[in-house]
Structure 1
Amino acid sequence: MNVLVLLAAILLLLMILIGGEKGARSFIALFFNFAVLFLTILFMTDPHVNPILLTVIASVLISCITLFFINGANRKTATAFFSTIITIVILLFFILFVTENAMIQGFGEEETEELSAFSLYIGVDFAKIGAAVVIMSTIGAITDVAISIASPMREILNHNPQISRKELYKFGISIGKDILGTNTNTLFFAFFGGYLGLLIWFKDLSYSIGDIVNSKVFSAEMITIFCAGIGIALIIPITSWITAYFLTKTSENN
């Protein structure tokens, strides 16, 4: 049996055993999100398409699949969705500014040998492609933090309907503080895990610390990590405030 099929079967089995129906939905959502990413890349090769607009649309679709398909349409997923969209819009302008001034678009000198046989005159804006890559890299972490905050906030309101909006907001911030460091570390170690071979290559080429830091490949990945970390930090107060406002307002109306 193919190793990929075997690993996918083990993952599906564990997700169903532990998560039940929601675990099965989470497994199916992986393929839906992959289809969205594949179509995004497919359309992004068209020179007449704006990569930024296409990425924003893809981010909205991924958020809908991750939140509504897996967890259903309810108050916690709705507030998490709105918080995610607001954070992406805020982060979008920051990412566009950073990528344009940092000039991380295109390819580094370490990649020129593999690309020497291909033409780079493909008619796409590499600066926008670079910004799109950073945006897509942050959407997963932002959505994860949003639902991780909104879900326990709804539970605390169900168990304590008399809680005030301010106290509920503080509860959301408290949760965010607990997951802020762990999620940021996850992004950081994911980079080192994925680029361990590149770092070993830097060592074999006797790169100095300055050479590594100024390498386009390294800088692009670190900027992606920092932007994702900024997105995680922003989503915490945004989700806490939106969730506290809408949940208490709905509770008062009922």
Structure 2
Amino acid sequence: MVHSHEEVSLEPGAARRVALWQALLVVPLALATLLGLIILWPSDSPAGTVPVMSESISLETGTVTEIGETDDAGATPVRVLLTGEGTEVPVHVPAEIVANGLDVGDSIEVMFTPAAVGTGTPYIFWDFERDVPLWLLIGAYVLVVAVVARGKGLAAVAGLALSLAIVVLFMLPALLAGSSPLLVVLVGAGAMMFASIYLAHGISIRTTTAILGTAGGLVVTGILAVLATDWANLTGTLSDSALSLTGYGIQLDQILVCGMILAGLGALNDVTITQVSTVWELRSANPSASTAQLYKQGMVVGRDHIASTIYTLAFAYVGTALPLLMAAAVLDRTFLDTLSTGEIAEEIVRTLVASIGLVLAIPLTTGIASRLARV
């Protein structure tokens, strides 16, 4: 699918030359990504997976019918009507759950332990039932995108769905199977890059140019992630979820690097598409403009883009890590000491690496687009 405004920007002969140059660069990249998927695709389920709970323990759902008063020992009596059984039972719920979101009428999952029947608390809170709210929110998201962005927005959602499928079906199993984390994330990111850009924007000269810029940005981000993780002595072992992977023989510092690479992928797609479109419109408005002129004018927009996106990743990570920052803030230590603690340092390095890769991708993409626009 070639957009009509491209046909205005480039004459047929020029368009053929640009397409040829792009094919020489992008086709090998696509073939390498496909070959990587074939070679690294895990053939079996990850070894060493463990059940969530023992066979004697079961999960049941129910609705909270009563929340009593907290006693002096900090215990709060909670009663739940079990779904399908019509039986109301007492459930032990942690005090922090009661204080931060449990209400009468909530649908929850409870863990039933037959061996604990004699203790009076065989039912223990497991989690909230969230299927209905999550699916409704997903439906609302797709509806809003469809109404506002129409077909192009739905195509972008399809690209997002395919990218998430690559993470779930390829990357996670391959990492757990012991494949090289760096190779897995580069191949996976490449596949996600092709899927998200081409599905959202169509296959065209512009989008293929954006593919080249995004690929360059990913390489830069990957190199920076490896170097920064080593320089800052980041181990990736400080969170509970990371420690749960130690029995799988996985290098957690490499998983940290993978996360840094993936963190900047979405923003990279955004800035590369924008810069390519800017250069092409400049070329359309002034067909006689030289490569240097196109680059200079494109970077005027690029610098504005950098200024507007430079805090995007930072605030995204601050929002995600807010509980961690608050926990660190209550400790009696200096501000600089707080920033240099392991978990916070990981977030800072992740943000800086992704941001540097994002900023450098803008002049790189602008340069590629300016040169191809004058082929």
TM-score (norm 1): 0.89
The residue number in structure 2 matching 1:40 is: 171
Q: How is 1:63-82 mapped onto 2 (pairs within 5 angstroms)?
A: 63-82=193-212
SS in structure 1 at match of 2:151? helix
Deviations 1:162-194 (A, max 9, x none): 222222111221111011022121111111111
The residue number in structure 1 matching 2:341 is: 215
SS in structure 2 at match of 1:11? helix
Structure with bigger helix share is 1
Which 4+ stretches in 1 moved above 6 angstroms? none
Distance 1:8 1:166, change over 3 A: same
- The match for 2:268 among 110, 123, 142 is 142
Aligned residues: 244
**Residue identity matched to 2:200:** I
1:204 CA drift (Å) = 3.0
Q: What is the alpha-carbon distance in structure 2 between the residues aligned to residue 119 and residue 18 of structure 1?
A: 42
- The match for 2:226 among 72, 93, 96 is 96
Deviations 1:18-37 (A, max 9, x none): 21110111112221111112
- The match for 1:25 among 144, 147, 155 is 155
Identity percentage over the alignment?
A: 23
1:87 CA drift (Å) = 2.3
**Residue identity matched to 1:201:** A
The residue number in structure 1 matching 2:359 is: 233
1:119 CA drift (Å) = 6.8
Please say if residues 107 and 216 of structure 1, whose CA atoms lie closer than 8 Å, have aligned partners that are also in contact.
Answer: no
Alignment of 1:188 onto 2:314: yes
- Gaps of at least 5 residues in structure 2 are 1-130
Distance 1:119 1:225, change over 3 A: closer
The residue number in structure 2 matching 1:154 is: 280
Deviations 1:193-220 (A, max 9, x none): 1111111212233443133212111101
The residue number in structure 2 matching 1:252 is: none
1:66 CA drift (Å) = 1.7
Q: What is the alpha-carbon distance in structure 2 between the residues aligned to residue 248 and residue 92 of structure 1?
A: 30
Please say if residues 105 and 126 of structure 1, whose CA atoms lie closer than 8 Å, have aligned partners that are also in contact.
Answer: yes
The residue number in structure 1 matching 2:236 is: 106
Structure with bigger strand share is 2
1:94 CA drift (Å) = 2.4
> Which structure ranks higher in relative contact order (CA pairs < 8 Å, sequence separation ≥ 6)?
1
Pairwise CA RMSD? 1.9
SS in structure 1 at match of 2:248? coil
1:115 CA drift (Å) = 7.6
1:67 CA drift (Å) = 1.1
Larger Rg: 2
Deviations 1:63-84 (A, max 9, x none): 1112111101111111111111
Please say if residues 71 and 77 of structure 1, whose CA atoms lie closer than 8 Å, have aligned partners that are also in contact.
Answer: yes
Q: What is the alpha-carbon distance in structure 2 between the residues aligned to residue 196 and residue 243 of structure 1?
A: 39
Alignment of 1:130 onto 2:261: no
**Residue identity matched to 2:357:** G
Q: How is 1:4-23 mapped onto 2 (pairs within 5 angstroms)?
A: 4-23=134-153
- Gaps of at least 5 residues in structure 1 are 250-254
Distance 1:10 1:227, change over 3 A: same
SS in structure 1 at match of 2:209? helix
Q: What is the alpha-carbon distance in structure 2 between the residues aligned to residue 21 and residue 158 of structure 1?
A: 25
